[in-house]
Amino acid sequence: MPIGILASLGVATILYMAVAAIMTGAVPYHQLNVADPVALVLNRLGMPWASALVSVGALAGITSVLLVLLLGQPRILFAMSRDGLLPQAFSQVHPRYQTPHVTTLLTGVIVATASALTPMGVVAELCSIGTLFAFAIVSGGVLVLRFSQPELPRPFRVPLFPVTPALGVLRCLYLMASLPGVTWFRFLGWLVAGLGVYAAFGRKHSLLNRH
């Protein structure tokens, strides 16, 4: 699995760089700061049919990603509830479909409300800073666990340790620092709210804490 993930990232990176090189060779780069740069380039090259095809593919791709995320988040809440970090109501399973219907409905309502009332730029920045923070924690966890629990079984070991995880933490923090200050305030507010839920409920009811 790790080899497949890294290989996919490598292929995607090469393709993105190749497409960016072709686009900036066809159209001045300062004109590509739009929502659909690939479609813009194809229109400039006189291929509107290709532009329409790319736009349809982009919509399909975005829709599939959103569906995957909307299916993943309810199961994360379900797992947290099962571990005692959230109330047991979040770990209820539908008697017929055997899916976490409570967390699915909750996620759908929150996402729909946020997307209807929040500007797209704000949503994108919050998603970016949250994802970067999670990646920084994972990279930092690799550093800590390799020293604190070296005896743990590791089917896959991070290459070039400790350089690789350390660079991961630094790069994530660098990208987070480039985001606007108001995004940091929103992120810290959300983080404090989450820590409050953990301190008030999760820490006491955590199955790991009981053991």
Do the domain assignments include residue 127?
Answer: yes
Q: Report the pLDDT value the prediction gives residue 209, as an integer from 0 to 100.
A: 79
Least confident of 64-68, 135-139, 173-177, 186-190: 64-68
Between the alpha carbon of residue 96 and those of residues 17, 92, 99, 100, 101, the distances in Å are 47, 12, 8, 11, 10
Do the domain assignments include residue 142?
Answer: yes
Do the domain assignments include residue 177?
Answer: yes
Do the domain assignments include residue 198?
Answer: yes
Residues 174 and 51 sit within 8 Å (Cβ to Cβ): no
pTM above the 0.85 mark?
Answer: no
What percent of the chain lies above the pLDDT cut of 90? Answer: 50
Q: Which two tokens stand for residue 141?
A: 């966890």
Do the domain assignments include residue 30?
Answer: no
State the total domains in the chain.
1
Residues 89 and 78 sit within 8 Å (Cβ to Cβ): no
- Does position 35 have pLDDT exceeding 80, yes or no? no
Q: Is the dihedral of CA 197, 199, 201, 202 positive or negative?
A: positive
| Residue range 128-148: mean pLDDT, rounded | 93
Do the domain assignments include residue 87?
Answer: no
Domain encompassing residue 168: 120-211
| Residue range 99-112: mean pLDDT, rounded | 92
What percent of the chain lies above the pLDDT cut of 70? Answer: 100
Q: Report the pLDDT value the prediction gives residue 155, as an integer from 0 to 100.
A: 83
- Does position 29 have pLDDT exceeding 90, yes or no? no
pLDDT per residue over 162-175, tens digit each? 999 999 999 999 99
Contacts of 34 (CB under 8 A, 6+ apart): 40
pLDDT per residue over 56-105, tens digit each? 988 898 889 888 888 889 999 999 999 999 999 998 999 999 999 999 99
- Rounded Cα–Cα distance for residues 72 and 181 (Å): 29
Residues 144 and 128 sit within 8 Å (Cβ to Cβ): no
| Residue range 196-202: mean pLDDT, rounded | 91
Q: Report the pLDDT value the prediction gives residue 208, as an integer from 0 to 100.
A: 82
Do the domain assignments include residue 44?
Answer: no
Do the domain assignments include residue 166?
Answer: yes
pLDDT-based confidence at residue 195 (cuts at 50, 70, 90):
very high
Alpha-carbon torsion, ordered 82, 67, 128, 172, to 10 deg: 70
- Does position 211 have pLDDT exceeding 80, yes or no? no
